[in-house]
């Protein structure tokens, strides 16, 4: 009987600790991040974003994502499952005329391809990943 009790306590402790670690990982996502790398285009990063770098903001308590794609603001529902993230849901985007070229379009189309994320450097760097390829990198602001 005592053995069963200790086994039950052990598994309960494991379950609680796993849940806390997952919550901690998700909570590191909260806050504002600034883009410093994007893969794909043949234009340099500074050429894509000469005036303003894109930002993204996460509010995991409200399941909201928002930001600025270097010209227009966007907001939408945050869809997370562990380290999996989905940006394919429709987002509201402002429609200001942008003269900076194709940076805005590159940012939004790359965001749609992201399937997971990873936070490194003690919570200072956010990597967006498609499959197993790092597509975007952000710095915590």
The CA distance from 120 to 103, in Å, is 25
Cα separations (Å) of 124 from 14, 17, 28, 100? 28, 24, 9, 28
Cα separations (Å) of 111 from 23, 65, 130? 23, 12, 9
Terminal CA-CA length for the chain: 53
pLDDT at 1: 54
Mean pLDDT per 10-residue interval, the chain, length 141 residues: 47 44 71 96 89 96 97 96 95 89 92 97 97 96 94
pLDDT at 33: 98
Tokens matching residue 5? 């009790």
pLDDT at 54: 98
User: Among 21, 18, 20, 28, which Cα is nearest to 127's?
Assistant: 28
């Amino acid at each position: 009987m005592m053995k069963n009790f200790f086994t039950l306590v052990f598994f309960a402790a494991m379950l609680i600790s796993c849940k806390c670690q997952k919550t901690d990982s998700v909570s590191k996502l909260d806050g504002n991040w600034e883009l410093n790398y994007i893969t794909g285009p043949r234009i340099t990063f500074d050429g894509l974003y000469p005036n303003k770098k894109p930002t993204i903001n996460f509010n995991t308590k409200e399941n909201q994502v928002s930001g600025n794609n270097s010209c227009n603001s966007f907001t939408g529902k945050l869809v997370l499952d562990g380290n999996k993230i989905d940006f394919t849901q429709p987002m509201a985007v402002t429609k200001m005329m942008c003269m900076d070229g194709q940076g805005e379009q590159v940012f939004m189309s790359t965001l749609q391809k992201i399937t997971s994320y990873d936070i490194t450097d003690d919570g200072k760097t956010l990597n967006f990943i498609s499959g197993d390829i790092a597509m975007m990198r952000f710095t915590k602001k």
